[in-house]
């Protein structure tokens, strides 16, 4: 590996902040900041104490946040360089379907077809992400990997990167299949001229969602949509509830953009007002997931233990998938974090 390749790999986590196709772009962080400022102003009537509220030391210096910082750097540099070359992207699936069904006639796409294509592709991606998320909650051995994300005891925008590489690979594959196959089928229906509206290299629906204070979903800033709108779009408060350690919030609000999938599946939890939350697993393991070695290797060990106890326990044990419980840990339980 050349010096330039190593340099590019190590700098990649920092270049993400300047790439508007990425959710952590300074553009989307800025729009989230504007919304956070508006929330604080409305609630307090002034900006006194804003910095302490916006950047609380107990959150930024929490062991959970420090683990987020380490995982963000590793995932977005070394790990990304490894799996970026092995992920089969949407173009592969698009070409596969097109070659199977035949190349459609090239036509000039109308504005209506372009808008429909844009929405359908965004919905297909979101449906795939929801289904993958659902599986990672409900299949016991997959839950052991998803615990990495839910083990966060406080949240900052970087918590979005607190994902086990195994889950990220599966999620990328499912998203690639959904987008590629959907785009190919749209081409078959409307002709090869069907196009998708993009901005910054991503679907405009996704970009607008990122602009709409997306980064507040991993934060202590409570932003709630009207209940009826929560059935359609996921608001930051809904995702914060998804991370709550309270049992009534477990396995709720698994959607990324749209709340429609949760609504249809009965997993929607639409708060009607502010709810004070504590984040974490809530199963006795909180405080034991804040080292890099634990975050990367414990899921494999736990999954192995599940398979060793019988494949039915690994795939179908309803008690484990419903209660967030898994193989018992020998680590002592850490202190529960205060709500933020």
3-state secondary structure (DSSP) of residue 279: strand
Residue 190 to residue 182: CA distance in whole angstroms: 12
| Total structural domains within the chain | 1
Residue 103 to residue 114: CA distance in whole angstroms: 19
Residue 333 lies in a domain: no
Given a cut of 80, whether residue 240 has pLDDT beyond it is yes
Residue 11 lies in a domain: no
Residue 255 to residue 131: CA distance in whole angstroms: 9
Residue 151 lies in a domain: yes
Residue 2 lies in a domain: no
The predicted model gives 273-288 an average pLDDT of: 94
Per-residue confidence (pLDDT) for residue 105, from 0 to 100 = 78
- Tell me, rounded to whole angstroms, the distance of Cα 139 from its chain centroid: 18
Given a cut of 50, whether residue 280 has pLDDT beyond it is yes
Per-residue confidence (pLDDT) for residue 3, from 0 to 100 = 74
Residue 133 lies in a domain: yes
Residue 254 lies in a domain: yes
Instruction: Give the residue among 273, 286, 269 at the shortest CA–CA distance from 338.
Output: 286
pLDDT digits over 42-60, tens only?
999 999 999 999 999 999 9
The predicted model gives 95-103 an average pLDDT of: 88
Given a cut of 70, whether residue 320 has pLDDT beyond it is no
Residue 310 lies in a domain: yes
Q: Please, where are the H alpha helices in 26-89?
A: 26-44, 50-54, 57-60, 63-74, 80-83
DSSP 136: H
pLDDT digits over 289-313, tens only?
999 999 999 999 999 999 999 888 8
The predicted model gives 121-144 an average pLDDT of: 96
Residue 337 lies in a domain: no
Count Cβ atoms within 10 A of the Cβ of residue 123 and give its class: 0-12 exposed, 13-18 middle, 19 or more buried.
Answer: middle
Q: What does the CA dihedral 323, 328, 331, 334 come to, rounded to 10 degrees?
A: 20
Residue 166: how many other CB atoms lie within 10 Å: 19
**Using an 8 Å Cβ cutoff, are 81 and 165 in contact?**
no
- Banded model confidence at residue 103, pLDDT cuts 50, 70, 90: confident
Query: Which helix (H) or strand (E) covers residue 202, if one does?
Result: strand 202-203
User: Which residue range(s) make up the domain with 304?
Assistant: 16-323
Query: Which helix (H) or strand (E) covers residue 198, if one does?
Result: strand 198-199
DSSP 283: S
The pTM is what? 0.89
3-state secondary structure (DSSP) of residue 335: coil
Which residues have CB under 8 Å from 44's CB, separation 6+?
none
- Tell me, rounded to whole angstroms, the distance of Cα 332 from its chain centroid: 28
**Using an 8 Å Cβ cutoff, are 136 and 167 in contact?**
yes
Given a cut of 50, whether residue 125 has pLDDT beyond it is yes
């Amino acid at each position: 590996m050349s010096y330039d390749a190593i340099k590019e790999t190590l700098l990649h986590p920092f270049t993400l902040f300047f790439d508007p196709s990425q959710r952590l772009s300074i553009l989307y962080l800025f729009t989230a900041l504007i919304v956070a400022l508006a929330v604080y102003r409305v609630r307090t009537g002034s900006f006194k104490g804003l910095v302490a509220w916006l950047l609380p030391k107990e959150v930024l210096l929490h062991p959970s946040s420090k683990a987020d910082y380490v995982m963000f750097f590793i995932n977005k540099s070394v790990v990304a360089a490894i799996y970026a070359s092995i992920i089969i992207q949407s173009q592969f699936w698009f070409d596969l379907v097109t070659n199977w069904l035949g190349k459609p006639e090239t036509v000039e796409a109308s504005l209506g077809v372009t808008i429909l294509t844009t929405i359908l592709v965004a919905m297909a991606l979101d449906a795939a992400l929801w289904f993958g998320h659902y599986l990672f909650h409900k299949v016991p051995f997959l839950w052991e990997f998803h615990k990495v994300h839910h083990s966060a005891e406080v949240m900052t925008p970087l918590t979005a990167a607190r994902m086990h590489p195994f889950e990220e690979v599966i999620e990328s594959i499912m998203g690639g299949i959904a987008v590629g196959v959907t785009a190919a089928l749209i081409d078959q229906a409307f002709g090869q001229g069907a196009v998708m509206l993009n901005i910054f290299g991503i679907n405009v629906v996704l970009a607008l969602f990122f602009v709409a204070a997306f980064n507040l979903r991993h934060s202590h800033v409570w932003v709630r949509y009207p209940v009826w709108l929560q059935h359609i779009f996921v608001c930051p408060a809904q995702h914060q509830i998804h991370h709550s350690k309270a049992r009534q919030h477990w396995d709720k609000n698994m959607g990324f953009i749209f709340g429609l999938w949760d609504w249809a599946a009965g997993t929607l939890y639409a708060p009607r007002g502010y709810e004070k939350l504590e984040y974490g697993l809530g199963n006795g393991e909180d405080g034991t997931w804040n080292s890099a070695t634990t975050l990367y290797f414990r899921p494999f060990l736990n999954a192995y233990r599940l398979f060793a106890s019988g494949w039915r326990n690994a795939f179908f044990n309803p008690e484990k998938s419903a209660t967030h419980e898994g193989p018992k840990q020998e680590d002592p339980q850490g202190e529960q974090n205060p709500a933020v």
